[in-house]
Amino acid sequence: MVGADNRARSLADRRRGDNAPIPPPIGDNRAPSAPTPAMAYFHDIDPYAVQFPPFSLFGHAFGSFGVHWYGLMYLGGFLGGWWLGKRRLRAGRLGAVTQEQFSDLMFYAMLGVILGGRIGYMLFYNFPQLLAEPLSLLRVWEGGMSFHGGLLGVLVGGLYWARRNGVVFFDAVDFVAPLVPIGLGLGRLGNFIGGELWGKRTGGDWGVVFPRALEALGKAPDELRAMFLAGQLHGEARHPTQLYEFTLEGVVLFSVLWMYSRKPRPRYAVSGLFALLYGCFRFAVEFVREPDVQLGYLAFGWVTMGQILSLPLIVTGVALLLLSQRQPRPA
């Protein structure tokens, strides 16, 4: 699931007063600066895993289309969660639930990710557009998914499933929680491949230059690459926050939760640990992540929507961990 919020950011920091000079364009007669150091990387990864040329079928002409890496990452997250979920089921982490009931649970979780992620993005990050154009909710090809919305969608789906099958709701949440970081990590990797959700400028000679963050220059990707190689984009290197989140929310969070949940734990414990760690990781990365251009900073010149939405998770995580201490220890 992923996440949050996968609309590409624009030059929001310039709008907020970051007056870092833009290097002269190609053809400028001034002497170029020194070549770009090896610590900087120009992002030119093709966001399409497969592209198909235009074709005709039964007399109808169809344009070219492609399969995005981001979509494949979603699919990989679902399949990986399903496979590991079956392992947890065989280990007895969800009582006497059958394979059919487990399949239903995963279906509702996937549905919650997709519906909740899209609705959450429009409510949390693009509410004015939703009011002005309600049908924009359906334009998923324009991008825009929210982790926090997806999480709420999973909880709603899990609650419906638990009531139908006579399972304690938090037993289902504890079961699903270690599976979530797989989709989170792959989703952030998809964000990086797509060159979206970038971070702030590093202020140094290291980082990643994202062409989509330089759209205001009006340059083609080849021109931007030439400027990069000529050392004219030193100040445009940014934090690859997608990779930071892939590491923290994907690799680290999965490793901790999977190891912790290998043994039976008191009710609420696994859910609480997930909420606490994810909330802390996301809150921290937001300090170097570019806020959505349509929102900017919400308070004090540094508070973002991602941080505001993560605070309840941190509080909930602490509360659930404390509550788990009052639960009987599993045999």
Q: Is 239 helix (H, G, I), strand (E, B) or coil?
A: coil
Q: Which of 172, 189, 160, 176 is nearest to 81 (CA)?
A: 176
- For 73-101, the pLDDT digits (tens) are 999 999 999 999 999 999 999 989 999 99
Distance CA 252, CA 244 (A): 11
Q: Choose the weakest-confidence range: 34-43, 139-148, 173-182, 228-237.
A: 34-43
> How do the domains of the chain map onto residue ranges?
12-23+65-200+239-324
Asked whether the predicted pLDDT for residue 173 surpasses 80, the reply is yes
pLDDT of residue 5: 47
Asked whether the predicted pLDDT for residue 310 surpasses 70, the reply is yes
Helices vs. strands in the chain: H and E counts, helices first: 12, 6
| Ramachandran angles phi, psi of 303, nearest 5° | -80, 125
Check: CB of residue 124 under 8 Å from CB of residue 150.
no
With bands split at pLDDT 50, 70 and 90, how would you rate the model's confidence at 53?
Answer: confident
Distance CA 11, CA 27 (A): 24
Asked whether the predicted pLDDT for residue 70 surpasses 70, the reply is yes
User: ∠ at Cα 225 (142, 9), nearest 5°?
Assistant: 30
The C-alpha torsion from 154 through 159 and 163 to 165, rounded to 10°, is: 30
Distance CA 76, CA 49 (A): 13
| 331 exposure class (CB count in 10 Å sphere: 0-12, 13-18, 19+) | exposed
- Mean confidence (pLDDT) of the chain: 88
What one-letter code names the amino acid at 99?
Q
Check: CB of residue 147 under 8 Å from CB of residue 181.
no
With bands split at pLDDT 50, 70 and 90, how would you rate the model's confidence at 120?
Answer: very high
Asked whether the predicted pLDDT for residue 317 surpasses 90, the reply is yes
Distance CA 177, CA 158 (A): 11
Q: Which of 17, 316, 9 is nearest to 173 (CA)?
A: 316
